[in-house]
Amino acid sequence: ALASSGAHALSSAVNEYFDRLIVIIEQYGGDIVKFAGDLVFVVWDGAVGDDEDLEYNLLCASQCALDLQEKAGSHPVKGTNFEFRIHCGLTIGVLESEVFASPSHAHMQRLYHSVSGHCLTQISELVDLAGAGEIAVSQDVADFLGEMAVFDLDDDIVGGYMLLDLQLEPSTLEAVEQHIEDSVSERLSRRIPGMEEEFIHPKVLGFLKHNGNDPTQIAQMRNLVTLFIGMTSGGNSVNWLLEVQSILDKCRCPIVQLINDDKGVHVVAAVNLYESVPDSSLLALNACRELVDKQIGCAIGVAMGPTFCGVTGSRTACRWDITGAVPVRAARLMGHALAEHLQVVIDSSLLSEPIAATRMSLLKEPIRVKGTEEPIAVYRLSGSSLYAIFRVLENPSMDICNRTVQKVRKSINTAIARSAVIVTSGPGAGQTLVCQKAATLSDLVPFGHVCDETAGMAQLARSIAIWYSYAEPAFVRAQAAVVLDHMDNNRWSRAHDECVNLLDMAIQAGLRACFVLRRIQFLDSFSLSIIHECLKGITFVVANQAKSIYRRSAGDAGSIVSEMGASNGDYSRSSNNHTRRARRRRRSRTARMNGGSGGKVVFLGCHTTLYQHRSAEQIVNEITRSNSCFQVKTVELSPPSIQQKKASIRQTCDIEASDRWIRHNFGTTAGLCISSLIRKANRTLGGRDGPKGGEGTPAREILTTELRLDVSGDDPNDLSGFGQISGGDVMKLTQSFDELSPVMQIFLKVVAIASRHGRFDVPKTVALGVTNDLMGITAIDSSRSNTIMKELEEMYLLRSALDGGVEMIVFPIPALSNIVMDVCTPVQIQSISAALIFRLESVQYVNFKIPFMIAELCSVVSKGEGPGTDEEDMEMYWRSGVHRFDAQSQDWDTSERDSWAERISQSIRLSGGDPNSIMGDIHVQPAIRTDNVPTCLLSLKSYVGPISFGPIGHTLSAISRTLFQAYGARVRKDAEQLQGLAFAITSATKRYKDEVKTIESILRIEGQPIAALESDGTALIEKECAAIESLYRLSSSAEDIAKGAESFLCEFVPTYVVPRIERLRCVALSILANKPDFLTLIASETLSTAFQKLQGRSCWKDSTEDALMTLATRNWKPAKVPEYLPQSYYWTVCNLRDAILRQRGRVRSKSAVWRHESTFDDMAAFLIASAALGASNRRRGGCRRRSM
């Protein structure tokens, strides 16, 4: 309930209660040594064998436990109907306290504290024994207290005693008080000044030191990959921790906590905890793989998702901790691993980062874990060590920023064999999508490289070599292996030089490649030099065993210039004494030679503007180094308009989206909208990202019968933000904020609080004034304000515009407002809101929005602990805003006026008012759409033909999509579209019949014939085609089409499609085993080579990756069907990869979307079917299909 209110709501509720408890604990001299979730572990330490000291410590602890239950036994949680209650355990014994020093700590703190001992097991059992409001004590404690204590003598209590009261003499009480004073003084004398900082991560230490923040007010929501690691070896725990810590540090997975209790020794660690890390799931799985390979003795649970990170405790005793569903799930998966003797159990949440899929293999049976209603799919580590295929990108099927795409395309579609372009914009604006589209439109296959500042030197060389290691020419593959060998042995300079040679050889061999460099601002200098040398065409003197010198120019990668007697491995730069005119002639000749070879290398850089990081211009300068031989163009990407977003949804999802649906999800100008909106639309439809709820599920977002995405109502508590964007987008936005200076962070917090989740524009002068108020100085004077605004606008974090002569600022990415709000402390929210109200009152007449902003801020202040705001003041602001809105909107378009009236209504409801009484006739009741498309139509829309069918799957997808469209056309009564759809389904049905006959002939030859003829003499194939033709006719009503959809999914697919899949799989396995050269006779060289790659490795994932990379490097594309079909329906290389390697393991129900489970066998069947149908089409003249 609290998590949905933000990180600090949860943090404040927990820490407020901890503060009450800790005050009492410190009064009795207790030493808090550990927080673990909602557990506080307190000790009273004394000398071993000193019974008097032990007695006084026990009396202190007993009095403390009784006082805790009396004064803080329950604590109501503000804003909810819940309350916190405590149950206590008390025991005595020897406790081992150890400080663990990290030998390497590049990504974590140096020191960790751990406690262990038999008493930990006892205390855990006693806490479980005690109920809420009770204190359970051990037998030793009861014996020690004797007649001084009152116990519950209930015979049903087994394993301990319930302490009810203490009866102490006044002299004893005085002695106890003196003991508390002496023990606290002695403990403080043992403190080592400054040593505490060694137990704190430097990033958290910075939080604590900045602006004097209260430690308990430091909290964030971050997208973490959490590892819960349990020790299973029987050796020394310290040695085990040393080895585990070194691996975790190398994989940038800092340790959160060490636990040594009755359940064993455990380590809690998380990637993305203190820094935003690309490919975080891959790093986590690499850590798991190394822990397993080194046989350290671990049982590991892994889960990923939004997690609360913050300080738990009070100002005097606290620790940095993580809480939430993700670490709990990781702990339970570790428990399952221990119970089933597994090494690693991985949650399906890691599949949200596709690159992790190759490292995961689905466990056969779903498992039940505590906290989940249904069994969940879980995974183990696969035997695969490859992930190149997940670097392959493809053309997005939507029109996105076409003007920018054309600029990039124009720069790379030249006769020059080497080119580079950098696309720059804010976080998540779509730079990668633009590069993908420009590359594929230029007939190039984009291969991604994620630049990482901690990935080491010459990191780009590895990605280049991996791509060319799948190339067709053997000498190119050999050179790629040389580069990889140098990289593996940290020979950076040799890797650099050989990589440049590799690029030259590939160009001369006629190979074409495109490398998309994401986050190029983090690319190392060696990698930038590789780009530089490749673009200019470098000349090397290379001495090999034959003592030949190879001239590596832009035009000739392998011409022998001369021979000399140099030693092996000797490199030097050749002299260049040519005149300027000779160099120009050489460049001209080079261009002609490159054009003749047909080879090409393109580098497309995706640049995100971050504070104090290299700008796009600086990167260009580093690459060119004032070299006039070549240029690197910079293209700036602007955020898409609402019309572009609607067009992208139309092209990708084949539906329309209402303005209200887009506004409800991500606003009108969010840079993240294109990719995020597509994912959101697919979820609403039940697409590849997951089905919508079944029938009867109250869904706010619906698809109407007119095939338009809309919102069924308007819930004021449902605001766009953290939960609606992907973990990758959260990482980008969080990183952008983390990199800013303190003044900029405060400035953004002011704008976030004022804009009310990005819904209002904020006067610039007001935001600057409040920032100065908070900083206590003129932090942003008039001379600096323009500079800071310019920097924030260049980073696309803010945007300014004039409104009524006043400069207003707004978040271009509304989701950023929510992420900034997640790092605002409650104290900051209260103080900033109060300061904003004061300054906004002077400009409230600038436009009608400001009064509503003030009213919402008044509501925020009234909920705090400070002086509240009268509801009459809020009503005054509401009525003022409504009056000004009514006057300003008289000439507006009706739809725009209604849209703003709805937003105003929402603002009033958020502040606790009644829109009907405030707005009167202006109030617009949100339309409640109930005419949503039947569930069977949603499932039909998302149906994709099986992989094993090859091109027949595309035909089936075309049929199902046409049927879906026919429903909307019938509801809209669009006769012209209905006529075209009738022709399309007739054409697709005829083609389906021909393709099925071709496949059945192969199945018959390979011993998998169709069943015998039925008694009426009608062949099953004819009956199958008749069933397809009966699904839709021009005269069909909407109800008939819906019935046809249900018949297709519930009868046709199970009856005809599924059995054929099984037969195709059997044939594929048989051909793989007995006829490895089968495809050589009927298929193209690309398909036959890919088929042979399926037999090359023991790990099926690696074999599948080899086959897919063969298709990718040779730019293979499936043939298009005559009917228009969005790219997401085709079995392209990327779609094949996602379906086969990302095993989702979903359980199909009646209301779920039909998804054919994909296996390794399907890849082989796909290649066979594609080859057979391709050969059949060639025999018939290749009609009816178009290449992509």
DSSP for residue 392 = B
Residue closest to 459 by CA, chosen among 468, 447, 451: 451
pLDDT at 863: 58
The single-letter code of the amino acid at 810 is V
pLDDT above 90 coverage of the chain, percent: 20
What is the H or E stretch that residue 323 is in? strand 318-323
What is the mean pLDDT of the segment spanning 986-1015? Answer: 79
Residues with Cβ within 8 Å of residue 3, at least 6 apart in sequence: 9, 10, 308, 324
Q: How confident is the model at residue 567 (pLDDT cuts 50, 70, 90)?
A: very low
The single-letter code of the amino acid at 1164 is A
Q: What distance separates the 2 farthest-apart alpha carbons in the chain? A: 108
> In angstroms, what CA-CA distances link 840 with 403, 692, 879?
40, 43, 16
pLDDT at 727: 60
CA distance 477 to 502: 9
Lowest mean pLDDT across 46-50, 205-209, 534-538, 823-827? 205-209
| Per-residue pLDDT tens over the stretch 865-908 | 444 456 778 888 888 888 888 888 888 887 778 778 877 887 78
The count of other CB atoms within 10 Å of the CB of residue 932 is: 18
Residue 293 burial (10 A CB sphere; 0-12, 13-18, 19+): exposed
Beta bridge partners, 425, equal: 608
Of the ranges 251-260, 513-522, 595-604, 649-658, the best mean pLDDT one: 513-522
The count of other CB atoms within 10 Å of the CB of residue 785 is: 18
| Per-residue pLDDT tens over the stretch 900-955 | 887 788 778 777 788 888 887 776 555 555 566 787 887 887 788 899 999 999 99
Does the structure show a pLDDT above 50 at 721? no
Q: How confident is the model at residue 1188 (pLDDT cuts 50, 70, 90)?
A: very low
The count of other CB atoms within 10 Å of the CB of residue 789 is: 20
DSSP for residue 364 = S
Backbone angles phi, psi at 712, to 5 degrees: -80, -15
Of the ranges 246-255, 542-551, 705-714, the best mean pLDDT one: 246-255
Backbone angles phi, psi at 307, to 5 degrees: -135, 140
- Higher-confidence residue of 1162 and 306: namely 1162
- Nearest 5°: CA angle at 353, between 348 and 355? 105
Does the structure show a pLDDT above 60 at 542? no
- Higher-confidence residue of 722 and 22: namely 22
> In angstroms, what CA-CA distances link 773 with 40, 768, 839, 866?
38, 9, 10, 18
Q: How confident is the model at residue 1151 (pLDDT cuts 50, 70, 90)?
A: very low
Residue closest to 721 by CA, chosen among 685, 672, 764: 672
Average pLDDT, the chain: 79
What is the mean pLDDT of the segment spanning 267-278? Answer: 86
pLDDT at 551: 33
pTM for the model: 0.79
Query: Do residues 685 and 678 touch, judged by C-beta distance below 8 A?
Result: no
Does the structure show a pLDDT above 70 at 512? yes
Does the structure show a pLDDT above 70 at 979? yes
Lowest mean pLDDT across 427-431, 621-625, 1136-1140, 1170-1174? 427-431
pLDDT at 769: 87
pLDDT at 1011: 58
> Using CA of residue 190, residue 195, residue 198, residue 199, what is the dihedral sign?
positive
| Per-residue pLDDT tens over the stretch 737-749 | 877 887 888 889 8
Distance between first and last Cα of the chain:
50
pLDDT at 674: 64
CA distance 664 to 817: 15
Lowest mean pLDDT across 279-283, 284-288, 471-475, 638-642? 638-642
pLDDT at 540: 36
> Using CA of residue 824, residue 829, residue 831, residue 837, what is the dihedral sign?
positive
Query: Do residues 771 and 746 touch, judged by C-beta distance below 8 A?
Result: yes
pLDDT above 70 coverage of the chain, percent: 82
| Per-residue pLDDT tens over the stretch 413-451 | 887 889 999 999 887 778 888 899 899 889 999 999 988
DSSP string, 409-423: HHHHSSS-SEEEEEE
Lowest mean pLDDT across 68-77, 104-113, 159-168, 977-986? 104-113
Q: How confident is the model at residue 700 (pLDDT cuts 50, 70, 90)?
A: low
Backbone angles phi, psi at 1015, to 5 degrees: -65, -30
| Per-residue pLDDT tens over the stretch 1075-1127 | 777 777 777 888 989 998 888 777 888 899 999 999 999 999 998 899 888 88
| Per-residue pLDDT tens over the stretch 1017-1063 | 356 778 888 888 787 776 778 888 888 888 888 888 888 888 899 89
Does the structure show a pLDDT above 50 at 554? no
pLDDT at 78: 74
Q: Both tokens of residue 983?
A: 């022709």
pLDDT at 596: 47
Query: Do residues 651 and 398 touch, judged by C-beta distance below 8 A?
Result: yes
Does the structure show a pLDDT above 80 at 331? yes
CA distance 1132 to 1128: 8
Proportion of the chain in helix, strand, coil states, percent, rounded to 5: 50, 15, 35
The single-letter code of the amino acid at 865 is E
The count of other CB atoms within 10 Å of the CB of residue 668 is: 14
What is the mean pLDDT of the segment spanning 276-299? Answer: 88
What is the mean pLDDT of the segment spanning 341-359? Answer: 85
CA distance 320 to 255: 11
DSSP string, 420-455: EEEEEESTTSSHHHHHHHHHHHTT--EEEEE--TTS
| Per-residue pLDDT tens over the stretch 379-419 | 999 887 778 898 999 877 666 778 888 899 999 988 788 99
**CA 655 centroid distance within chain:** 26
pLDDT at 1127: 83
Does the structure show a pLDDT above 50 at 723? no
Residue closest to 461 by CA, chosen among 431, 485, 436: 485
Beta bridge partners, 422, equal: 605, 634
Q: Both tokens of residue 426?
A: 């804010």
DSSP string, 903-970: HHHHHHHHTT--HHHHHGGG--PPP----BPPHHHHHHHT----GGGTHHHHHHHHHHHHHHHHHHHH
CA distance 672 to 666: 8
Does the structure show a pLDDT above 70 at 233? yes
CA distance 447 to 514: 6
pLDDT at 152: 86
Instruction: Look at strands 264-271 and 255-261 and give their pairing.
Output: antiparallel
> Using CA of residue 470, residue 472, residue 476, residue 477, what is the dihedral sign?
positive
